[in-house]
Amino acid sequence: MLETIKIGNVTIDKTACLAPMASVADRAYRYMCKKYGASYVIGEMASAKGLCYSDRKSNELLEVTKYEYPMAVQLFGDSPEFMAKAAVIASKYKPQIIDVNMGCPVPKVAGNGCGSALMKTPELAAELVHAMTKVTDIPITVKIRKGWDDESVNAVPFAKMMEQAGASAITIHGRTKQQMYHPPIDLDIIKAVKQAISIPVIGNGGIVTAIDAKHMYDYTGCDLVMVGQGTYGRPWIFQQIKTYLETGESLSEPSINERLDVMYEHISLIVKLKGEKMGMREARKHAAWYIKGSNGAAGFRHACGQLSTLDDLRDLIQEVKKRI
């Protein structure tokens, strides 16, 4: 019997969840990860101000289907007023959890005082969480990093402040903002946060295999692990993690033929949801991820970057199969 955790009143299997990756974790991506066993998924971050000003793109990021449950939407911003209003708007889309991004390191987010920049202003960050908890019964969670840089590692006191402000769970990415996505991952900081607070702690960073996930659980004592870039072109990693945690069996990577079938299903769904023109443009990176490591993959990268129609994708698949 699988262990579970609770975030507020939401029960989640203690296997692995999908990180809220901007321009990646859209509905099609979340669907594929759910299909292969993701126990919980978080959508792409949406701007609180964008929602309050009825920005169409921001609203689209909040679309939720019950198939995705347990599921969270993610908001970012630096104004308690706007974050509270955005939480009310987001709640209409019926997510089970609302996550607050306090970890994004990209300049256009952190440079505006949002994302990981909030780790430099913990009092403001606590105000955001408190303001949101006052206007909705939906659990509010927070995603943070180790700190801004190695000289200002403050994840433990920061997490304590978020708990006191009313957060229902904390996700901690074991890197600083300055590290971006470069190694190493600091498992000790995840462990320290887990030991310091009583709400659930989700560990994030560097998980690319089932063994990585098991090690993070064992070393840090975290309540759940979150997988981000390790899912690129590999939604089945959730199945691998679940199987390994339950039985100790290491599932092998799918064959290239199986990978191509999953790729076609995934990209077809993107096109169905977004239309062929936009969908195929977004599919290019996914195609490159799926065929990475296959025979002649380097030569196919250019073709991936030129995909414009599903017919192009079918042609690419045939070319890859010829190399097998």
Between the CA atoms of 203, 206, 210 and 213, what dihedral angle is there, to the nearest 10 degrees?
A: -20
Count of Cβ atoms closer than 10 Å to residue 137 Cβ: 9
Summarize the confidence of residues 230-248 as an average pLDDT.
Answer: 97
Residues 245, 247, 248, 254, CA torsion sign: negative
> Where does the pLDDT of residue 248 fall: very low under 50, low under 70, confident under 90, or very high at 90 and above?
very high
Lowest mean pLDDT among 1-5, 42-46, 78-82: 1-5
| 213-238 core/surface letters (b: 16 or more CB in 10 A; e: else) | bbebbeebebbbbbbbebbbbbbbbb
What is the reported pLDDT for 58?
Answer: 83
What is the reported pLDDT for 1?
Answer: 59
Active site residues: 104
What is the reported pLDDT for 103?
Answer: 96
Lowest mean pLDDT among 54-58, 272-276, 290-294, 306-310: 54-58
Summarize the confidence of residues 234-239 as an average pLDDT.
Answer: 98
Summarize the confidence of residues 243-261 as an average pLDDT.
Answer: 95
| pLDDT tens, position by position, 209-232 | 999 999 999 999 999 999 999 999
Q: What percent of the chain has pLDDT over 70?
A: 100
| pLDDT above 70 for 246 | yes
Summarize the confidence of residues 69-78 as an average pLDDT.
Answer: 97
> Where does the pLDDT of residue 323 fall: very low under 50, low under 70, confident under 90, or very high at 90 and above?
confident
Domains and CATH numbers, the chain: 4-247 (3.20.20.70), 256-322 (1.10.1200.80)
Write the single-letter amino acid at 213. Answer: A
| pTM of the full structure | 0.96
Summarize the confidence of residues 31-36 as an average pLDDT.
Answer: 98
- Rounded Cα distance between 308 and 23, Å, is 18
Owner of token pair 């969908």: 279
Average pLDDT over all residues of the chain: 95
What is the reported pLDDT for 184?
Answer: 94
Beta bridge partners of 227: 18
What is the reported pLDDT for 174?
Answer: 97
What is the reported pLDDT for 322?
Answer: 85
Summarize the confidence of residues 163-168 as an average pLDDT.
Answer: 98
Which residue in 121, 129, 145, 117 sits closest to 202, CA to CA?
A: 145
| pLDDT tens, position by position, 91-121 | 999 999 999 999 999 999 999 999 999 999 9
| pLDDT tens, position by position, 117-136 | 999 999 999 999 999 999 99
| pLDDT tens, position by position, 36-61 | 999 999 999 999 999 999 888 888 89
Which residue in 177, 173, 169 sits closest to 200, CA to CA?
A: 169
What is the reported pLDDT for 127?
Answer: 98
- Let me know: does 101 contact 74? Beta carbons within 8 Å: yes
